[in-house]
Structure 1
Amino acid sequence: MNAQIIPHELLQRQVEAHPYPLVFATISGAHLYGFPSADSDFDLRGVHLLPLDQVVGLEVGEETVEKSGVREGFEMDLVTHDAKKFFTLMLKKNGYVLEQLLSPLVVHTTPELEELKAIAKDCITRHHAHHYLGFAETQWRLLLKEKPPRVKPLLYVYRVLLTGIHLMRTGEVEANLLKLNETAQLPYIVELVERKLAGPEKGRLDEADVAFHEREYRRLVADLEVAMEESRLPDRPSSEPALNDLLVRLRVKNK
């Protein structure tokens, strides 16, 4: 399979142009999930720090910064949240923020990133399964609305379901579909990825494909529901004191 070359220097320049100091910036999206096409955009995600005078008054600064556009032929999509907002999301059953935080595709790092990664394990609960079940259902509905359906949303369906199952069974966040499939051993995953990378002509599903994958979708939904019930993960996160302490130290450091 052909992997898209990651323009590290260009991504670094996008990070350096950010209006606020960053705690971290990583790559998410198709590159993280293991099936980027030649035309896939680069989804940069991270945490920024608002200055103290923009968080203590009645008017709060930019809690979310979003920038997108084409840079030197590459489509870039940058989204960062202020540390307080991101930490709050970590305390909810939000798989996205954990995947972004723990992404191995790191563009910008600080010592606080490693501390935040260590805290993240105490944010994971059995209820994160609901995040993955909900996202899989949304993607499946989108797939059925397309005429003809595409392979891309189907890959997202399988990615989130396998991520959820793996998380419930191991407590580990893994977003790469090909790595997840080393354990799941679904024989059709590699072919689906190859079809997506081959372009639009190969990336379509016929009725027989859809019928087969609907059975697989429902089977994996049931597997995730069972994994949630059997999971030894806690019902509530225990990381709020550690996140609060880190946030205070970051604010003082950035005053």
Structure 2
Amino acid sequence: MSYEVPDLSAVVAEQSHNLLFATVSGAHLYGFPSRDSDVDLRGVHVLPLAEVLGLRHGPETKERMWVRDGVEIDLVTHDVQKFCRLLTRPNGYVLEQLLSPLVVHTTEAHRKLAALAAGCLTSRHGHHYRGFAATQWRLFEKTAEIKPLLYTFRALLTGVHLLRTGEVNAHLPTLLEELDGPDYLPGLIEAKILGEHRALAGVPDRPAPERLEADLAHWHEELRQARETSDLPLEPPAFEEVHDFVVSTRLT
């Protein structure tokens, strides 16, 4: 990946709760950030026992958006219990955040949890990626922008790859090479670099609507077949290990 992780150690130091990790997600992780893209930071914080056992419960999710050095930063972290609860469900978002190679902050606990990720993969993750692709396609139909179109195919190809190989790969340019994806998408990635909300109509070599719909149907079918033939289990075999991880992390 060409994207370099910025030095955001000061951001980590400013957090009121300990962070297990913070990684970059979103368009930078997917391989098609625009020049004016914000930086999506995602991670896990740990609430102290007093904020879990007492009458005043700490925040399960913390969100903050601000501008630092001319770059808009969108930070979202979940408490370790909520994050691991999502991890043991068919939720591709948290898997991608946990395993993102764009690491801003890490700990030994982060590495332990990442090692458990393979035991959280299930064939039901196909439903997550199908639903995400459908949502982004509807947004593309409404806005006709390149961004949701790329998000649509990114979700479909990530889902197919995960179900076939048991590996999480959210980087669209790599997926296009490995899965022989639509040949017009690299050109659209280059076009999006010029603007976050650039319209498809402004791209000279844009694909025809019928081509887009045919490719969409093809990759939905590939995802369906990959889900039906996947060797991944229906339920996460590492559930108890993740449970133990939450308990030990909270106590320490």
TM-score band by shorter chain is over 0.9
Which position in structure 2 is the counterpart of 1:74? 71
Quote the residue 1:176 is aligned against. Answer: 171
1:185 maps to amino acid: D
Question: Residue 198 of structure 1 aligns to which amino acid in structure 2?
Answer: L
- The aligned counterpart of 1:242 is 241
Select between 106-115 and 203-212 the one with higher mean Cα deviation. Answer: 203-212
- Paired residue type of 1:21: N
C-alpha contact (below 8 Å) 2:21/2:107 kept by paired residues:
yes
Q: Which residue in 1 is equivalent to 2:156? A: 161
Q: Distance in 1 between matches of 2:173 and 2:207?
A: 24
Residue 112 in structure 1 maps to residue 104 in structure 2: no
The separation in 1 between residues aligned to 2:215 and 2:91, in whole angstroms, is: 25
Q: What is the one-letter code of the residue matched to 1:249? A: S
Alpha-carbon deviation of 1:250?
1.2
Q: Which residue of the partner structure matches residue 96 of structure 2?
A: 99
Q: Which runs of 5+ in 1 are unaligned?
A: none
% identical aligned pairs:
49
Q: Paired residue for 1:13, among 10, 28, 43?
A: 10
Deviates most, 102-111 or 188-197: 188-197
SS at match of 1:167: helix
CA distance, structure 2, for counterparts of residue 196 and residue 189 of structure 1: 10
Q: Offset of 1:4 from its aligned partner?
A: 5.9
Determine helix, strand or coil for the equivalent of 1:205: helix
Whether contact under 8 Å (1:48, 1:82) holds in the other structure is: yes
Question: Is the deviation greater in 243-252 or in 162-171?
Answer: 243-252
Q: Give 1:210 deviation, angstroms.
A: 2.7
1:135 counterpart = 2:132: yes
Q: State the 1:114 CA deviation.
A: 1.1
Is 1:252 matched up with 2:251? yes
Q: Which residue of 1 aligns with 2:227?
A: 228
Deviation at 1:105, TM superposition (A): 0.3
Larger deviation, residues 53-62 vs 134-143: 53-62
Give the secondary structure class of the aligned counterpart of 1:122.
helix
Q: Which residue in the other structure is 2:142 paired with?
A: 145
Structure 1 pair 199–238 and aligned structure 2 pair: CA distance change class (3 A): same
Q: How far has the Cα of 1:58 moved from its partner?
A: 3.8
- The SS at the match of 2:119 is coil
Distance 1:208 1:230 in 2: 31
Q: Name the residue aligned to 1:193.
A: 189
> What letter is aligned with 2:157?
L
Cα displacement (A) at 1:201: 9.1
Is the partner of 2:89 in helix, strand or coil?
A: coil
Specify the SS of the correspondent of 2:208: helix
Supply the AA of the counterpart residue of 2:11: Q
Q: Are residues 1:30 and 2:27 paired?
A: yes
Q: What TM-score, normalized by structure 1, do the two folds share?
A: 0.92
How far off is 1:59 after superposition?
3.2
Residue type of the alignment partner of 1:239: A
**TM-score normalised to structure 2 length:** 0.93
How far, CA to CA, are the matches of 2:163 and 2:197 in structure 1? 36
Change in CA separation of 1:71 and 1:225 when aligned onto 2, cut-off 3 Å: same
Report the RMSD for the aligned CA atoms in angstroms.
1.8
TM superposition shift of 1:69: 1.2
Task: Write out per-residue CA displacement over residues 124-145 of structure 1, whole angstroms, 9 at most, x where no aligned residue.
Answer: 1000000000000001011111
Contact 1:4 1:38 in 2 (8 A): no
- The more displaced of 173-182 and 244-253 is 244-253
Residues 128-137 or 190-199, more deviating? 190-199
> Is the 2:161–2:167 Cα contact (8 Å) retained in structure 1?
yes
Deviation at 1:205, TM superposition (A): 3.3
The worse-fitting range, judged by mean Cα deviation, of 97-106 and 233-242 is 233-242
- What per-residue deviation string (whole Å, max 9, x for no partner) do you get for residues 80-101 of structure 1? 0000000000011100000000
Kindly provide the amino acid, as one letter, of the partner of residue 153 in structure 2: Y
Aligned 8 A contact 2:37 2:196 in 1 = no
SS in 2 for 1:107: strand
